[in-house]
Copies of this chain bind each other. A is one copy, B any other.
Amino acid sequence: MALREARRDDVRWIVEMLIDDDLGKTREDLSDLAPYLAGFDAIAADPFNTQYVWEENGELLGCLQLTVIPGIGQRGLWRGQVEGVRVKGTRRGSGIGRKMMQAVMAIAREKGCAQMQLTTNKARKDAQRFYGQLGFEMSHEGMKAKL
A interface residue numbers (CB < 8 A to B) = 11, 14-15, 18, 24, 27-29, 35-40, 42-43, 46-49, 51, 65, 67, 69-78, 80-81, 83-84, 105, 108-109, 113-122, 128, 131-132, 134-147
- Interface of A, helix, strand, loop or mixed by DSSP: mixed
With contact pairs A128-B143, A142-B142, A143-B140 given, residues A18 and B72 touching in the complex (Cβ less than 8 Å): yes
Distance to closest chain B CB from A142 (angstroms): 3
Q: Is the CB of B141 within 8 A of A145?
A: no
How distant is the Cα of A84 from the Cα of B132 in the complex, in angstroms? 25
Q: Which of B72, B132, B145 contacts A51 (CB 8 A)?
A: B72
Complex Cα gap A94–B142 (Å): 25
Picked from B84, B138, B142, B146, the residue with its CB within 8 Å of the CB of A72 is B84
Number of copies: 2
CB-contact partner of A117 in B72, B113, B142, under 8 A: B142
Q: Which residues of B contact A24 (CB under 8 A)?
A: 73
7 more A-B contacts (CB under 8 A) besides A109-B147, A138-B143? A18-B72, A27-B73, A108-B147, A114-B147, A115-B145, A122-B140, A132-B143
* Pairs A–B under 8 Å by Cβ, sample size 10: A38-B76, A39-B70, A48-B48, A69-B81, A109-B147, A122-B141, A128-B141, A136-B144, A136-B145, A138-B142
Q: Is the pair A71, B77 in contact by a Cβ cutoff of 8 Å? A: no
Check A119 against B143 for contact (C-beta < 8 Å). Answer: yes
